[in-house]
Structure 1
Amino acid sequence: MFASTASDYKLRRFADGVRLRAVRMVAPHGFGYLGQVLSSAELLATLYGNAYRPERDQLVCSPGHYIIGVFAAAAEAGLLEEEALSSYGFDDSPLEAIGTERSPAVDLTCGSLGVGLSGGAGFALSNRLKGDDDARVFVIASDGEMEEGQTWEAALFAAHHRLGRLIVLLDANDSQVDGPVSSITTLEPIAAKWEAFGWDAYDVDGHDVDALSLALDAAVASSRPSVIIARTSTRQGLEALPLNADGHFIKLPPMLARDAIAELEARLA
């Protein structure tokens, strides 16, 4: 865990550490939700390095399959035992491939897409009613979830109640199981939609830790709920991936896993 605001160099190394852990978690199965980690690694690094205080704040992982990124980031930050990661995705493991109510290192994770923001708004309102003006609520979300009506109901609720301690980290990687999100539903202009609902919106390069840090600082300081729209790629940070890799559910045969691990280990050496 970083003792204070982390440098860009530390954040980039943290992000690659998250990628390496995720590759190792997926490798025994030969496939998995690796693309979601590749796209959100810098977002997670900036969150854990510059804002998230596990003893004070609440963390929501709305898309349940993104929990692999939370597990990897929590281990990288020293909040989850290293040995636990090796059990990821196996029968009877608490580190399931899709998050559940028993998932560690997170306050809420959701199997159904679009539910997490409602939970985050509930946490934020509860904190206010308890007189806790310091606690922040961070909701990890995906652009595909913006196709869900419940997301926008929760956004309206949060803006109406001016839940300024609520921050959405939106991984806009344009990827979902049916193909590119943009080919399924027109979401743009994403920032303008959130702003129209009464939110502060920060639209940034999701692999630029400096831009993410500035956006996160502004969101934390705001009196309104905020969303950081991180434009990302499910291939980021792993050149070993073949060009035709399915970003939503990546196949990782043994040779590719070895190449991916070697690439990341070399970068972190």
Structure 2
Amino acid sequence: MSATGHVCDPGTYWTVPDPTRLATAIRLRAVRMVAPLGFGYLGQALSSAEQVAALFTVLRPGRDRLVCSPGHYVIAIFAAAAELGILDEEAVRGYGQDGSPVEAIGTERSPVADYVCGSLGQGLSAAAGFALSDRLRKHDRRTFAMVSDGELEEGQVWEAAMFAAHHRLSRLTVLLDANNSQVDGPVDTITTIEPIAAKWAAFGWDAVDLDGHDVGAVIRALTGAGDGDKPSVLINRTSTTHGLHCLPPDADGHFIKLPPELAARAEAELLARLAGRDD
């Protein structure tokens, strides 16, 4: 894939033989992408690695759509795409650099995902539009949207949720990363958003609560979503430090500092895991 292609583009192709290994590889790639900068959105890759690995396992290349609503989560999508050979290495090395299409905070110009939102809270609206358009055009496509729990503070998310339920957009599935982290601190100290599943269900969605770090569970939930006549939301309970034991206890999950020594330890830990050795 070129630096401007998207997963729904005809001719795009990849396979995921081992989703668990891909999740670890996403973490390693993300560490290597952030390390030259010394800080960045590593926590979002750590919390969403299994979800992204599951997505690329279930997504049908060249057909289904992927929307990333929180633009800083695109690091995990870029990492997966590089690992699967659908984003070239030169492009990945430009992550976060001035003028690079592989941006630290994605935009509508970002490669790989079919739509990336720089401003929070807008992705579900785009995903619902894609799903409705595909239905009207009689296209056999599913639309998957990555959404963060902090975005649930945005009214536009709930307007889009009502719209999708009203139109019974059953080919639309949301992966909600419930990591309880946002720039101002833990989400539950800013706004009470629980009970998340009950709220989505009340809006007319099929909602399931699950361990977002169990890649098999996420794959099964993604595979089963869309069988009924409602849109689906998977509420993935996660942590912004999961999968990296070397991070300090006070690591800021939203924007992790990664000095050279810590980056080296993180890379060694993940390489050992990929080699099948104990951490």
Same topology, TM > 0.5 = yes
- Residue 256 (structure 1) aligned with residue 269 (structure 2): no
1:160 maps to 2:166: yes
Q: Where do 1:1-269 residues align within 5 Å?
A: 1-2=14-15, 10-49=18-57, 51-132=58-139, 134-269=140-275
Structure 2 distance, partners of 1:151, 1:68, is 22
Q: Give 3-state SS (helix, strand or coil) of 1:141's partner.
A: strand
Local SS of the residue matching 2:56: helix
Q: Distance in 2 between matches of 1:236 and 1:168?
A: 21
2:247 alignment partner AA:
L
The two structures, once aligned, show a CA RMSD in angstroms of 1.0
With normalisation by structure 1, the TM-score equals: 0.95
Question: Which letter does structure 2 place at the counterpart of 1:254?
Answer: P
What displacement does 1:83 show? 2.5
Indicate conservation of the 8 Å contact 1:48/1:77, yes or no. Answer: no
Deviation at 1:210, TM superposition (A): 2.0
Letter paired with 1:78 = G
Percent identity between matched residues is: 67
Is the helix fraction higher in 1 or 2? 1
SS of 1:167's equivalent? Answer: strand
Residue 40 of structure 1: how far off its partner (Å): 0.3
TM-superposed deviation, 1:54: 3.2
Contact 1:141 1:168 in 2 (8 A): yes
Q: SS of the residue aligned with 2:111?
A: coil
* SS at 2:271 equivalent: helix
Q: Name the CA distance, whole Å, in 2 between partners of 1:223 and 1:79.
A: 33
What secondary structure does 1:221 align onto?
coil
Output the CA distance in 1 between the equivalents of 2:263 and 2:114: 31
Number of equivalenced pairs: 262
Q: Residue 181 of structure 1 aligns to which amino acid in structure 2? A: V
Q: Could you report, residue by residue, the CA deviation over 1:30-54 in whole angstroms, capped at 9, with x for unpaired residues? A: 00000000000001111111x1123
Shift of 1:111: 1.1
- Letter in structure 1 aligned against 2:52: L
SS at 2:236's partner residue?
A: strand
AA aligned to 2:106 is: G
* TM-score (normalizing by structure 2): 0.92
Structure 1 unmatched ranges of 5 or more:
none
Query: What CA deviation, in whole Å up to 9, does each residue of 1:74-103 have, x standing for no partner?
Result: 112221112321110011111111001211
Partner Cα separation in structure 2 for residue 15 and residue 81 of structure 1: 19
Q: Which amino acid in the other structure matches residue 232 of structure 1?
A: T
Gaps of 5+ in 2: 1-13
